[in-house]
Structure 1
Amino acid sequence: MENRASEGLPLGIIVGEARPHLFVFLAWRNVRVGEYVAVEAQEGRSLGLVEESVVTSRLMDPDVVKSFQSAVEAKEVASKNPRDKAYSASVKVVGLLDELKKGRVLVPSLPPEPGSAVFEASEGELLSVFSVVGKEWTRVGCILRQPRVQASVNLNKVAARHLAILAATGSGKSNLLALLAKRTSEAYGTMVIFDYQGEYATLKLDRLVHVQAKLNPRLLEAERFADLLDMRENAERQRGVLRRAFTQEVREAKGFWDALHGELDLIANDGKADSQERRVARRVSEIVDRARMRKGEVIDPDIGDPLDQLKANHINVLNMLELSERQAAVAMDYFMEEILEDRKKARRYGLEGKAEGRVRFQSPVIIAMEEAHTFLPADEETDAKRIASKIAREGRKFGVSLIVVSQRPSRLHQDVLSQMGSLAIMRITQPKDQKYIVESSELASEKLIEYLPSLNVGEAVLLGQWVTLPMMVKIEQVPEKLMGMDIDAVGEWLRDKEAVEGNLEDTSELMGRKW
């Protein structure tokens, strides 16, 4: 039976109701989700992706088998009855093979006939479909369980139509982003990664720069400055006093902090102001001092334009590990807005032939956001969400795209997720997250999403405009990325123990010497 495929014999037969894009077949063996099959139909040979696989046994039916002993007996009988087990599979038709070989996706308009034979797609057929060529195509791994069939994605679509990488913690999402950064670097592209948790601190690639996120308060609106100082959102009196003190003269002053404190002191010592306002002004001064002490390297009025920290045609890892959640949101909002405005200028000046020297980014920019559900939440309006939604809607016209990375899709703003033209979905176990993906994106089917808990680390379902057709892929490992692995707590404790014991031995030796 194992030689059936090599002999050109069918894997199974279509049964029941068939549609142009969907059919069910019964097979002689268990069929894996993610396998590709082929079927002859009226319009030609079609390629299909197995989205669901089921095995049933009449003799082992729980309505019949009511005890352990009866299960043992039923198993014995079933093992001798080749007709007992039924292997069925649901298949999504992805296109006519002849068209797919030409790089075109054309789903047949007529369904295959029930009773039609279903075959395993040969390695040659898969190679002819997936071995796409062109400068915009880049390798990300291999087709799942087909190690000789390369899986490629269209980097142009990532740079124009946005991408969401959705996966549970530890499933390999940061490795995939690192791989895309590597491929972008090889293409001389520009990417900005907002690294909120230090995942990419050890990433080493050609044309990569690590940048400590800094913001110049002179360039911010008063409300953003208040957020940067970690002032409570509902502290209306404090924010009001800061707005009064944050004058144009303060913004332009050579000694920014002294000028700001000077304005706050004027309010605190104003005999005409009520006592509460004077107390609030003194409290705001304390908040400013605390922020300078804790985040002095981040809040820098002397750095000029923060965008100058970034390099075109490089991978820019923007380190935000030192920032609070609110401060990181301010930084993301600022950088995204400024990058979009710069690309708008590039487009305008480019049409006039005047872009040289007048813009920072003369070619498209990919912005990647880790922990996207934190900064683009479903249930809260934020500045970062506002500008991200704008980029999701308008960015492709100006050459700015988003890669949003999240392990909790159900907490991610639905409008942003629905704008993603491509998806990479890895292992996700939460039913709420699975349901949210189906509701938010027309790219994902329920049957395929139900399989996500079965994916192993580094395996992904790729959907949308960046792939020729839906595929399950084993993602290539990026050796240049060292972070993201679980901490070896026991190993670190044992090193501490060795260090302590070594110090004790040194101390004992010194005490035992005769001077």
Structure 2
Amino acid sequence: MGREKQKVGVCLNDSTSREVSFISDGSVSLGDYVELDYDGRTVLGFVKHLSCSSKLFSNDLDLKDVERLKKMSRDHRVLYGKISILGDVKSNMFVPRVPPPPGTDVFLASTQTLKGVFGRSDERKICIGSLLTREDVDVYIDIDQIVSRHLAILAITGGGKSNTVSVIIEGMLEKHASILVFDMHGEYVNFDYRVDGENAVKRLELKLNPVHLSYREFRQFANVDDNSFIQDRYLKRAFKATIEDISSGAVQISDFWGRLLGELENFRELASDKESDIKDDRKSIIGVINKVEDMKESYAELFDLFQKPIVEQIEPARLNVIDFSHVDEKIADIIVSHVLRNLLEKRKRFVHGYDGGLEFPVFSIIEEAHILASSSVRTRSRYWISRVAREGRKFGLGLCLVSQRPKALDVDALSQANNMIILKLVEPGDQRHVQQAAESLSSELVEQLSSLNVGEALLMGKMIPVPALVKIKLASGKMSGNDRSAVDEWEKVYRSRKSLIDEIDSFYDYGEEF
């Protein structure tokens, strides 16, 4: 025999099919899930707002009157609240077209009902944590929906983003996912996690073969901008001629730089002729030659003429990591856009049946997304992030945007993420920016973001049947990048130096005895 339902309130007037006003004696909390029986259905709801009131303590009373009433009366508080109607659990969360009648009882949702909503482990779902108000109910998210509809993980620094990303990575690796992390701070390079007894992490070489770059990417390395029309014209001609010669076999890959600079030198010599039609371009040609030579020298450690493309290094069922911790934001922008462009092109080739495609889907995690897809700076990565977000679902390319500065993140890119995990957000500008990108994020839910503790999050989107406040579980894999203790490090250095000084003093004291 089932346990009797726990009644926590009664519906009041002015309810709609989507929102219900109710009164309670105090046995319900913000974020609780409740059940209402009406219209022949058992409907699930979410307590999104609560306020406390008492008729005894009117605003007309002074402080002395209030103190006397406190001594004379018991607990006379009443809770007034609002419930978001989520739908009928047994009918694929169908929302009745009529509101619950006033007087309808409100019951605390049963564990059985909630487990039916938030799922169980299967081949497409992973456990991310438990309900914040019901620790006995695990919450599962749909991997297919994450990959096809994309994901944003947002929080203040120290809010629990890295642990959340790690939990998702571990769950996906258990499903043999192919994951690519653009690691801005070297946090995931030493990620300690094994699948079937083998290390699941592969560090991709941060090397680029200039032969495999698009002209626009190559031009960025050479610092030739959109306004340098003449330099752009000659560099483009020389680059295309060099690539065509390498493709046809007329020039070896190892001769790339010599062929490119040779072509530019030919233009310079031609411009040196006083009768030449391009004599006025001589200064610009010399300038672009200098830029290419500086580029070759400055990026000598980055360029490798015998390196295969980064996308071709990605392995299935692994956590593939590109470590950007030793390069500046400009280089990171060029490489991220280059990799995303190639991922999209190669997945298109495979899906359309052409040779040279990438045969498996890839889920890309972009750390510091507000830098690469900035709302104020026009980066190449922003273009390709938005493009992959729009087109990727058709070709098995998923994106996860991770940021502690949501308001600095391009709203178009953020709006493409149909799934969100929002941890603690305090700054009102960040909250408004997120709400602007997520139409289903109500003002009541936004208000909860600043009161979340570390590791607590609001989950919403296609990956989960209904929005949920969740306590994210702790990842089992170890990673670097956690907060460092300055006090511990100071103490370590102090002890080390003091020990050295004591040894030196002891040595001199010993010498003085003789």
Equivalent residue, structure 2, for 1:462: 459
Contact 2:348 2:395 in 1 (8 A): yes
- Bigger drift between 304-313 and 466-475 goes to 304-313
Secondary structure in structure 1 of the residue aligned to 2:393? helix
Q: Does 2:145 match 1:152?
A: no
The alignment status of 1:287 with 2:287, answered yes or no, reads no
* Aligned partner (choices 52, 56, 62) of residue 55 of structure 1: 52
1:260-275 equivalences in 2 (<5 Å): 271=272
TM-score normalised according to structure 2 size? 0.86
Counterpart of 1:223?
Answer: 216
SS of the residue 2:470 aligns to: strand
Residue number in structure 2 paired with 1:312: 316
Q: Secondary structure at the match of 1:189?
A: coil
Percent sequence identity is 27
Q: Retained in 2: the 8 A contact 1:138–1:152?
A: yes
Structure 1 residue 168: Cα displacement: 1.6
Aligned match of 1:88: 80
Summarize deviations over 1:452-493 as a string: whole Å, max 9, x none: 111111111111111122211111111313334222111112
Q: Matched residues in 2 for 1:373 and 1:55: separation? A: 39
Deviation at 1:419, TM superposition (A): 2.1
Q: What is residue 254 of structure 2 aligned with on the other side? A: 254
Match of 1:434 in 2: 431
Which sits farther off after the overlay, 493-502 or 159-168?
A: 493-502
- Preserved contact between residue 128 and residue 141 of structure 2 (Cα < 8 Å): yes
* Structure 1, 183-192 or 233-242: larger mean CA deviation: 233-242
When residues 360 and 178 of structure 1 are mapped into structure 2, their CA distance, relative to the original with a 3 A threshold, is farther
Q: Which residue is equivalent to 1:491?
A: 488
Deviations 1:283-320 (A, max 9, x none): 5256325523xxx4333233132222221222211111
Residue of structure 2 equivalent to 1:500: 497
Instruction: Return the match for 2:177 from 166, 170, 189.
Output: 189
Correspondence 1:161 to 2:153: no
Tell me, what secondary structure is at the counterpart of 2:254? coil
- Output the aligned Cα RMSD: 3.0
1:422 shift after superposition: 1.4
1:303 corresponds in structure 2 to: 307
Give the deviation of 1:511 after TM superposition: 5.6
From 167, 170, 184, the equivalent of 1:179 is: 167
Name the counterpart of 2:7: 10
Q: Compared with structure 1, are the counterparts of its residues 107 and 79 closer, same or farther at alpha carbon in structure 2 (3 Å cutoff)? A: farther
Between 1:445-454 and 1:77-86, the stretch displaced more is: 77-86
Q: Secondary structure of 2:342's partner? A: helix
Once residues 55 and 343 of structure 1 are traced to their aligned partners in structure 2, the CA distance between those partners, rounded to angstroms, is 55
Paired amino acid for 1:430: E
Say whether the 8 Å CA contact 2:205–2:310 is kept in structure 1. Answer: no
CA gap 1:130/1:221 in 2 versus in 1, 3 angstroms:
closer
2-side partners of 1:237 and 1:59: how far apart?
Answer: 82
1:111 maps to 99
Shift of 1:388: 1.8
Q: Which amino acid aligns with 2:311?
A: L
User: Which residue pairs with 1:408 in the alignment?
Assistant: 405
Gaps of 5+ in 2: 195-199, 247-252, 274-278
- CA shift, 1:442, in A, is 2.2
Distance in 1 separating the partners of 2:15 and 2:70: 30
Structure 1 residue matching 2:352: 3-state secondary structure: helix
- In the alignment, is the contact (CA less than 8 A) between 1:141 and 1:152 conserved in 2? yes
- After TM superposition, give the deviation of residue 113 of structure 1 in Å: 1.0
Cα distance in 1 between the residues matched to 2:99 and 2:242: 73
Change in 2 beyond 3 A, CA 1:259/1:390:
same
String of CA shifts for 1:42-83, please: whole Å, max 9, x gaps: 23221111111222345656x546xxxx43651441464457
Could you say if the C-alpha distance between residues 486 and 59 of structure 1 is closer, same or farther in structure 2, counting changes exceeding 3 Å? farther
1:410–1:486 Cα change, 3 Å: same
Q: After TM superposition, give the deviation of residue 413 of structure 1 in Å.
A: 2.1
1:347 to 329, 345, 351: 351
The residue matched to 1:147 in structure 2 has which SS?
Answer: coil
Name stretches of at least 5 consecutive residues in structure 1 with no aligned partner: 1-5, 350-354
Distance 1:176 1:76, change over 3 A: farther
Give the number of equivalent residue pairs: 491
Asked if 2 retains the 8 angstrom alpha-carbon contact of 1:60 and 1:71, the reply is no
Which residue in the other structure is 2:28 paired with? 31
Alignment partners' CA distance in 2, 1:326 and 1:13: 59
Q: Report the secondary structure of 1:37's partner residue.
A: strand
Cα distance in 2 between the residues matched to 1:244 and 1:510: 72
C-alpha contact 1:136 1:156 (8 A) present in aligned 2: yes
Give, in whole Å, the separation in 2 of the partners of 1:395 and 1:434.
27
1:334 to 338, 352, 356: 338
Q: Tell me by how many angstroms 1:91 deviates.
A: 0.9
Higher mean displacement: 467-476 or 358-367: 358-367
Q: Distance in 2 between matches of 1:375 and 1:24?
A: 44
Q: Give the letter aligned to residue 338 of structure 1.
A: N
Q: CA offsets per residue over residues 337-371 of structure 1, 9 Å max, x none? A: 1111111122122xxxxx7xx45632221111111
Mean Cα deviation higher: 254-263 or 397-406: 254-263
Which secondary structure state, in structure 2, belongs to the residue aligned with residue 497 of structure 1? Answer: helix
TM-score, scaled relative to structure 1: 0.86
Deviations 1:261-302 (A, max 9, x none): 66667778875567854773575256325523xxx4333233
Q: Equivalent residue for 2:186?
A: 198
